[in-house]
Structures are given as structure tokens and as C-alpha cells.
């Protein structure tokens, strides 16, 4: 019999439970990716992720060809395209990974109904996109954990499923037709420093990280200029690397850095289990605090300055420009720019999340929306009213100013930490730098936020 493997956020051949299950039981399989019109219509997959996806599909095809197979790519309505492939291959079952979003759940339901009407079956595999399946560990009185530390404890005790090797061979029927593949060359507006996508690039990056980076992660992960995090996030988002495999690989290192790295991978699972249980949290506050965010002309001008990296706070501007240039931003940058927008400027987190989601090559519904809410204090943070001071953050995480000088060349002439406070220069010296004055006074921003949240020091 013949099986179809529907790839979604799992664009790899290693450690792929649906592919292994399909290959082991069938005479032939059809590896399939559908460029889903409904996702394109949402309009939030910016060109950076489209380009990375194009790399991933080309590489997945290459890797399947090494195993004797190939990847069929279709575009259009997901259910219609799967049914068309199922019919043309005369397949009797479809295997795919479980998703976490509301859309992913609806997609599974529609697909199951359509296949069953035809007497065929859908198999949905858990713990493909995450290391531990959402819902596999829960507290006694709820369907998900709302606090990270107890989740981390239970997640660690639960253990992560064993890693599966890639299948030895993949036999694909000849006559199943593919639509054209997307290609990077067709895309406009890409960030110039975009990384390369695909399982091969992901595995090379992972190997290099194990060799050169992971053991120093604890000391270096917050050093903005050092850029010493793994940069594996786009590969985790597209599933060109398996989170379960990374957890096992890191645990074999037995270093403090590796332990802290696994903890970050657990944050990813944590946000995925929150979203799976509370699909509305992608669009609405996880915990509402009754915020009445600023709107109107002056708010719009602040939003534009924030997006353009022209707020007059050098470390905020550096991080926002890194995002535009690379389609990626350091985690410390994400934290401090999100705090600046939602607390210092008191602007709705959704506006920030949308801007990130358009540009980030790792832009991910669970991680982006829930981290934004964590930073805005409408999510799972247990200290929702803390405000990060961008000057202190700059001095602490970019102590000699290298990160700011890298991304804000207008200030390259300023030495050391002085780059974090250009307004302190004598007037004549200040005039030499073509760089904006701060758009907001920090203590005023703080007072506004505290008034809005209804408390004072």
C-alpha cells in the first residue's frame, strides 16, 4: 500500500516520526509539502521566511533524492491538494505532525474528515515539532502550565522520546506530479543578511554549535556584541532540526552551558503548550491587565521611530536595525525593544509582534506572540510590571558599546560606553552626530506606565 507524508513545520529526514512510520509500513510513499493558500492569505509570512522556506524545500528534495525519493510540492487549498495527491498515488493513508495553533487543529480536522469520507486514514504524530508533546505534562488542576519553572521540572522528569535515524530508502511512485518550487530569486524585500535555510545548513550549524559554542553559553548568551547564542531558531521553527534531537545531543555534553541551552529549548516547548491549550492567546492577552494602550498621532510617530531604529536610545535602535538587516535579533535585544515599546512607550504589544512577525526568519506564532506578552506583562511573566531601562541594559549587555557601533554607524565615533548616552555630550560635540534626540524621557515613560497600570512606587 501507499502512504503520503505531509510535511509542515518539520522539513527534515532525520528524527521524523511520520516519515519513519510511513516508510516502514508501505510499499511506497509520497513526501508532500503544500504551500497552503490559507497561510499565505494570513499575510504574515514576510519574504524572509518565504526565502528560508524555499531553501528548506530544495534541500529536503535533495536529501530525499539521496534516499531514492523526491519531494512533491503543491500550492493551493491544503485539503484539496492532499486529496489530489492521495488519489493520483492511490494512497490509503496520510501521516503528519501534530500542530499547536488553532489553524493547525482546524487543518487536521478538515483533513481527517475529507480522508475518512473516502475510506482513507490520517495519522497525526506527537512530539515532532516540540520535544515533549503539548498536554503530555500538566499540573493537577489545569490543562497546561502557566508558570515556567514547575513546567521545566516536570518536562525534565518526563524525558524526551528517543531519536529516530533517517530512513534508508524512500520509494516514491513516478507519476505523482509536483508544482514548481518557490525560489529565493523570485522574492523582493529580503533582509540582506538572511541565513541559509534547509536541513543540511541546520545540521552544519548544530555541529559547529556543539563544537564551539554550547559549553560557553551560560557566560556569553547575554553578550549582545559577542553574538554567542546558537542562531538555531529558524531551523527549529521550520523543523529542519528536531528539538528532541537537540535536547539529547546537548545533554550528552554535561556542561553548565549545555544545561542552560536545554532550558531555553524547554521555553520553546512551554510556549507551544500554552498556545495549544489557549489558542486565543495568539491574538488576545493571555492574562488581561486592562491596558488602554496609547493610540493616535503621537503614538503612531513613536511606533515609526521604534520600527526604523530612530528612537534616540542607541541600544534599542541597534537591535531594531539588526532585525531589519538580518531578519533576526538577539534575545536580549528582543526583550529590551519589546519592553521599550510596550512599557516605556505604552503601545499595544500586538503592534510590535506584527512588526517582528513580518521580519523575523524564526517568526513563530507560539514563541513570538507569547514572548511579546511575557515582555508586555500581559502573559506568563511573574513580574509583569518590571520595566527595562534601555540605558542600563545597554551598559550591562553591551558594556563597551561594540554592538551599538556595529548597527548605528552614525555613532561609530563615540568610544566605549559613552555611545549609550549621546545626549550627555557637550552641545557642540553632540551636533556632530546625525542621530536623533530621545523620543521619550525615561522617567516620564515610567510614570505613564505606572499610572496606567494603577500603581505608584
List residues forming the annotated binding site for FAD. Answer: 217, 229-233, 261, 362-364
What's the closest the beta carbon of residue 165 comes to ligand FAD, in angstroms? 23
- Could you say whether residue 389 binds ligand FAD (CB under 6 A)? no
- Could you say whether residue 264 binds ligand FAD (CB under 6 A)? yes
Query: Binding string to ligand FAD for residues 226 to 255, with x set by CB under 6 A, is what?
Result: ---xxxxx--xx------------------
- Could you say whether residue 28 binds ligand FAD (CB under 6 A)? no
Name the residue nearer to ligand FAD (CB basis): 331 or 402. 331
Binding residues with ligand FAD: total (CB under 6 A) = 27
Which three-class secondary structure string do you get for the chain? CEEEEEECCCCCCCCCHHHHHHHHHCCEEEEEEEEEHHHHHHCCCCHHHHHHHHHHHHHHHHHHHHCCCCCEEEEECHHHHHHHHHHHHCCCEEEEECCCCHHHHHHHHHHHHHHHHCCCEEEEECCCCCCCCCCCCCCCCCCCCCCHHHHHHHHHHHCCCCCCCCCCCCCCCCCCCCCCCCCHHHCCCCCCCCCCCCHHHHHHHHHHHHHHCHHHHHHHCCCCCCCCCCCCHHHHHHCCCCHHHHHHHHHCCCCHHHHHHHHHHHHHHHHHHHHHHCHHHHCCCCCCCCCCCCCCHHHHHHHHHHHHCCCCCHHHHHHHHHHHHHCCCCHHHHHHHHHHHHHHCCCCHHHHHHHHHHHCCCCCHHHHHHHHHHHHCCCCCCCCCCCCCHHHHHHHHCCCCHHHHHHCHHHCCCCHHHHHCHHHCCHHHHHCCCCCCCCCCHHHHHHHHHHHCCCCC
- Could you say whether residue 127 binds ligand FAD (CB under 6 A)? no
Can you say which residues are annotated as belonging to the binding site? Answer: 217, 229-233, 261, 362-364
Segment 47 to 66, residues that bind ligand FAD, using CB under 6 A: none
What's the closest the beta carbon of residue 438 comes to ligand FAD, in angstroms? 21
Segment 287 to 326, residues that bind ligand FAD, using CB under 6 A: none
Name the residue nearer to ligand FAD (CB basis): 202 or 401. 202
Segment 359 to 388, residues that bind ligand FAD, using CB under 6 A: 360, 362-364, 367-368, 371-372, 375
- Could you say whether residue 74 binds ligand FAD (CB under 6 A)? no
- Could you say whether residue 356 binds ligand FAD (CB under 6 A)? yes
List interacting residues with ligand FAD (CB under 6 A): 221, 229-233, 236-237, 264-265, 267-268, 271, 331, 334-335, 338, 356, 360, 362-364, 367-368, 371-372, 375
Amino acid at each position: 500500500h501507499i502512504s503520503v507524508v505531509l510535511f509542515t513545520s518539520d522539513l527534515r529526514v532525520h528524527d521524523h516520526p511520520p516519515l519513519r512510520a510511513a516508510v516502514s509500513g508501505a510499499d511506497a510513499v509520497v513526501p508532500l509539502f503544500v504551500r497552503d493558500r490559507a497561510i499565505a492569505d494570513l499575510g504574515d509570512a514576510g519574504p524572509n521566511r518565504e526565502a528560508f522556506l524555499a531553501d528548506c524545500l530544495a534541500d529536503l528534495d535533495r536529501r530525499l533524492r539521496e534516499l531514492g525519493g523526491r519531494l512533491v510540492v503543491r500550492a493551493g487549498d491544503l485539503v484539496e491538494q492532499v486529496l489530489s495527491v492521495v488519489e493520483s498515488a492511490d494512497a490509503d493513508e496520510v501521516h503528519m505532525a501534530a500542530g499547536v495553533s488553532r489553524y493547525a487543529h482546524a487543518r487536521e480536522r478538515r483533513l481527517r474528515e475529507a480522508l475518512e469520507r473516502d475510506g482513507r486514514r490520517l495519522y497525526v504524530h506527537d512530539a515532532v515539532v516540540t520535544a515533549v508533546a503539548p498536554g503530555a505534562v500538566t499540573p493537577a488542576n489545569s490543562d497546561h502550565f502557566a508558570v515556567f519553572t514547575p513546567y521545566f521540572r516536570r518536562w525534565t522528569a518526563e524525558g524526551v522520546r528517543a531519536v529516530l535515524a533517517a530512513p534508508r530508502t524512500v520509494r516514491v511512485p513516478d507519476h505523482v506530479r509536483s508544482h514548481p518550487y518557490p525560489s529565493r530569486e523570485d522574492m523582493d524585500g529580503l533582509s540582506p543578511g538572511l541565513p541559509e535555510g534547509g536541513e543540511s545548513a541546520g545540521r552544519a550549524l548544530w555541529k559547529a554549535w556543539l563544537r564551539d559554542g554550547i559549553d560557553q553559553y551560560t557566560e556569553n548568551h547575554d553578550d549582545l556584541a559577542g553574538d554567542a547564542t546558537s542562531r538555531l531558531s529558524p531551523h527549529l521553527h521550520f523543523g529542519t532540526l528536531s528539538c528532541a534531537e537537540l535536547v539529547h545531543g546537548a545533554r550528552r555534553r554535561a556542561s553548565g552551558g549545555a544545561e542552560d541551552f536545554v532550558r531555553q529549548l524547554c521555553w520553546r516547548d512551554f510556549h507551544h503548550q500554552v498556545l495549544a491549550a489557549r489558542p486565543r492567546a495568539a491574538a488576545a492577552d493571555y492574562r488581561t491587565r486592562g491596558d488602554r494602550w496609547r493610540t493616535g498621532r503621537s503614538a503612531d510617530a513613536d511606533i515609526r521611530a521604534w520600527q526604523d531604529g530612530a528612537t534616540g536610545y542607541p541600544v534599542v535602535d541597534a537591535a531594531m536595525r539588526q532585525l531589519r538587516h538580518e531578519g533576526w535579533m538577539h534575545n536580549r535585544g528582543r526583550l529590551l525593544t519589546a519592553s521599550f515599546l510596550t512599557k516605556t512607550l505604552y503601545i499595544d504589544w500586538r503592534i510590535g509582534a506584527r512588526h517582528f512577525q513580518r521580519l523575523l526568519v524564526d517568526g513563530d506564532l507560539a514563541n513570538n506572540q507569547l514572548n511579546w506578552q511575557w515582555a508586555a506583562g500581559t502573559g506568563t511573566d511573574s513580574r509583569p510590571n518590571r520595566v527595562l531601562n534601555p540605558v542600563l541594559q545597554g551598559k550591562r549587555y553591551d558594556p563597551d558599546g561594540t554592538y551599538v557601533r556595529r548597527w548605528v554607524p552614525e555613532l561609530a565615533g563615540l568610544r566605549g560606553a559613552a555611545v549609550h548616552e549621546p545626549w550627555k555630550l557637550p552641545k557642540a560635540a553632540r551636533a556632530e552626530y546625525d542621530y536623533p534626540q530621545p523620543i521619550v524621557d525615561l522617567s516620564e515613560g515610567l510614570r505613564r506606565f505606572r499610572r496606567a497600570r494603577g500603581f505608584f512606587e
